[in-house]
Amino acid sequence: MKKLRQITTVKRHVLIVDDEVVNREILGNILSVNYEVEYADNAKEALAALSRQDKRFSLILLDLLMPVMDGFEFLKKRETTETLKRIPVIVMTSEKESEVRSLKLGAADFIAKPFDMPEVVLARCERIIELFEDQDIIRQTERDHVSGLYTKDYFFEYIRQIELWSRDIPRDAIVFDIEQFHLVNEFCGRDFGDRLLAEIGSALKNELAPMNAIACRADADTFYIFATHQESYDNIRNIVQGILTEFFEVNHIRVRFGLWENVDRNVEIEAWFDRAKAACDKNRGDLTQAFTRYNNEMHSRYMFEETLIRDLQSAIDNKNLIVYYQPKYNIEGDTPRLTSAEALIRWIHPTLGFISPGDFIPLFEGNGLIQKVDNFVWNEVAKQIRKWKDEFGVTVPVSVNVSRIDIMDPELETKLMRLLEENGLSPEEYMLEVTESAYCENMERLIEVIENLRKKGFRIEMDDFGSGYSSLNMITTLPIDILKIDMSFVRNMEKDERNLKLVELVAGIAKFLKIPAVAEGVETQSQLDTLKGMGCQIIQGYFFSKPVPPKDFVPFIENELERRRGA
């Protein structure tokens, strides 16, 4: 800050308020070297000068004993006006007893009369201006402009200051957010959403002060609270939920809370709220409780997930991530024919051992790291297709997953085409799987991307079809080449008539669209026969093979080549 002041060429304005001409001239001569100086004969004139909009004063030098309006009266009026309170005042007096009274009325400092040391006057003026300008910058940046609460950075810094003096007091970390808040902005407008957040912020400030607690708006609709331990926070929940109900006059807009009681001082402050946030997220969609407490079970899961996040890059670098391949067979005719494969990721962690994709795929989809995984898989698959092509003289097309985050990547098409070029492959040899749920979010963007990829020659498979809520409404508009029937329906179709009918329905839709249907999760001959009878062309599942590493996939290629030679 001091460097910034030194390099600026703009002189700050200083107002000298004194009824003695001599005093005004002496101070003017001292200060005019560094400042633009103006004068007032008394405090009433000073108020008039300060009310003008054409100048912003950085300092007031104020005499106390003046006619019309003295310095004490000015200090009292200053305390009632916010704009005046931001301008520091240095009192000029020769009376010691007036110094304490002036400081209590809001003066920042005092200079003793007579002014026998000009360098002291300049030094004090410079110091007070710097202090107040720094304070003003803090004031402008420490508060979120919507809610009026602290910003997250200042919130954490104030906690650090509190902790310096009171680490022995039990404290709680609370996180709450408003479910589906983005819909509030979409349907009611951002101004309405901001008014709601401001109301919540105002209510929190009033409620938290007696609890010796502070709060911030950490994200769009997420709030953090740091509080001395309380047995119950129902009052906070009731206030926030009451505001939501009042704004919407309905009860389905819900606030959910996560709480870590008696935070562990051996853990970093930011982690207190990460864990409270994990508890809050655990409460997503659960209408039976408003508060979820961070507990040992949740802690174990949290630490496990943090380990996975931390170790992902090393897993990629060290090839602890391994791409497995599950064969797909065309069952039209008497003998099944190897037609393609699906790439499936596996993680063999050096200390945790085998990690189920069900543990890390949803985690990385939620935090955006899935794109790293996808890019790794895409590269490995392209190289493997090339290797098999060189070794056996045939192409085994492989389908790879394309996540919702990948779809939003403006470089997606460029990445894929560069990958094919580097490995000497064509788009027909490299299939792309997109889950049905991806079509339900930003559908226009997804359709645009997929249509462009199809124009390049890629074949698009819709994965897990039937598991989403809007399949039948949108299926006729989707640009797809292959429909994959969700494995949960296939596995249960012989046990549950409803699942059987759903599989028949999906197979019928594929036939209507004149595209192949792929059935996942096929484990028995009976299932295969049933699916074949429905007109399902391609089968994938343990009936033929579980997903296997590349070396174990080789026999499937060799057997297919042998079958072709025999045919």
Question: DSSP states of 90-108 as a string?
Answer: EEEES-HHHHHHHHHTT--
**Would you state the pLDDT for residue 255?**
86
Please write the tens of the pLDDT for every residue from 231-250: 889 899 889 988 888 877 54
The answer to whether the CB of 484 falls within 8 A of the CB of 433 is: yes
The type of residue at 145 is: H
Task: Give the Cα separation of 27 and 437 in Å (integer).
Answer: 74
44 pLDDT more than 50: yes
Bond before 114 cis per omega within 30 degrees: yes
Does the pLDDT at position 7 exceed 60? no
User: 89 vs 366, which has greater pLDDT?
Assistant: 89
CB atoms under 10 Å from CB of 71, counted, come to 26
Residue 143 DSSP class: B
Rounded to whole angstroms, the Cα distance separating 411 from 46 reads: 62
Reply yes or no on whether the pLDDT at 289 is more than 50: yes
C-beta atoms surrounding 430 within 10 Å: 23
Q: d(Cα 551, Cα 565) in Å, to the nearest integer?
A: 22
* 3-class SS letters over 496-561: CHHHHHHHHHHHHHHHHHCCCEEECCCCCHHHHHHHHHHCCCEEECCCCCCCECHHHHHHHHHHHH
Q: What percent of the chain has pLDDT over 90?
A: 47
For residue 440, the model assigns a pLDDT of 55
Q: Regarding predicted confidence, which is higher, 166 or 75?
A: 75
Residue type, 166: S
452, 414 Cβ separation under 8 angstroms: no
Helix (H) or strand (E) holding 112: strand 109-112
Q: Is the pLDDT of residue 137 over 80?
A: no
pLDDT band at 1; cut points 50, 70, 90: very low
Q: Please give the pLDDT value at position 9.
A: 57
The structural domains of the chain, ordered by start, are 2-141 (3.40.50.2300), 152-294 (3.30.70.270), 304-566 (3.20.20.450)
pLDDT at 531 over 90: yes
Residue 287: pLDDT over 60: no
Average pLDDT for 195-212: 89
**Average confidence (pLDDT) over 256-261:** 92
Contact by Cβ (8 Å): 298, 524: no
Contacts with 298 (C-beta within 8 Å, 6 or more apart), sequence order: 275, 278, 279, 282
Give the distance, in angstroms, between the CA of residue 68 and the centroid of all CA atoms in the same chain: 59
Instruction: Determine what percent of the chain is predicted with pLDDT higher than 70.
Output: 92
The residue among 384, 391, 404, 403 whose CA lies nearest residue 341 is 384
**Residue with more model confidence, 177 or 254:** 177
pLDDT at 4 over 60: no
Rounded to an integer, the average pLDDT of 170-195 is 82
β-sheet bridge partners, residue 354: 348
Write down the pLDDT at residue 345.
95
How many other C-beta atoms are found inside a 10 Å radius of the C-beta of residue 452?
A: 13
* Window from 22-26, 191-195, 262-266, 392-396 with minimum mean pLDDT: 191-195
pLDDT of residue 477 exceeding 80, the answer is: no
Task: State mean pLDDT over 51-66.
Answer: 88
Residue 438 has pLDDT above 80, yes or no: no
Residue 291, pLDDT above cutoff 70 = yes
pLDDT of the residue at 442: 64
pTM: 0.62
pLDDT at 436: 59
Q: What is the C-alpha separation between 489 and 346, in angstroms, rounded? A: 24
User: How far is the C-alpha of 280 from the C-alpha of 221, rounded, in Å?
Assistant: 13
Q: How confident is the model at residue 470, as a pLDDT?
A: 46
User: Residue 469's pLDDT is what?
Assistant: 43
| 103 backbone dihedrals φ, ψ, rounded to 5° | -65, -40
> Integer distance in angstroms from the first to the last C-alpha of the chain?
83
| Contact yes or no for 47/74 (Cβ under 8 A) | yes
What single-letter DSSP state applies at residue 494? T
**pLDDT category, 476, cuts 50, 70, 90?**
low
The pLDDT of residue 510 is 87
Write down the pLDDT at residue 3. 47
In the structure, what pLDDT confidence band is assigned to residue 480 with cuts at 50, 70 and 90?
A: confident
Report the pLDDT averaged over residues 419-431.
95
- Cα–Cα distance for residue pair 162/363, rounded to 1 Å: 34
Residue with the bigger pLDDT between 113 and 9: it is 113
Q: What pLDDT, on the 0 to 100 scale, is given for residue 320?
A: 95
CB 482 within 8 A of CB 519: no
Per-residue pLDDT tens for 271-283?
999 999 988 888 7
Q: What is the pLDDT of residues 366-424, one digit of tens each?
A: 888 999 999 999 999 999 999 999 999 999 999 999 988 888 889 999 999 999 999 99
Q: DSSP of 393-421, one letter per residue? A: SS---EEEE--HHHHT-TTHHHHHHHHHH
Contact 325, 544 (CB under 8 A): no
pLDDT at residue 92 in the model: 87
Average pLDDT value for residue range 199-211 = 89
Which among 136, 46, 104 has a CA at the least distance from the CA of 13?
A: 46
Q: What is the mean pLDDT of the chain?
A: 87
Q: How far apart are CA 331 and CA 541, in angstroms?
A: 13
- Per-residue model confidence (pLDDT) at position 443: 73
pLDDT at 432: 94
CA-closest candidate to residue 443, choices 466, 470, 463, 416: 470
Residue 61 has pLDDT above 90, yes or no: yes
Query: Is pLDDT of 466 > 60?
Result: no
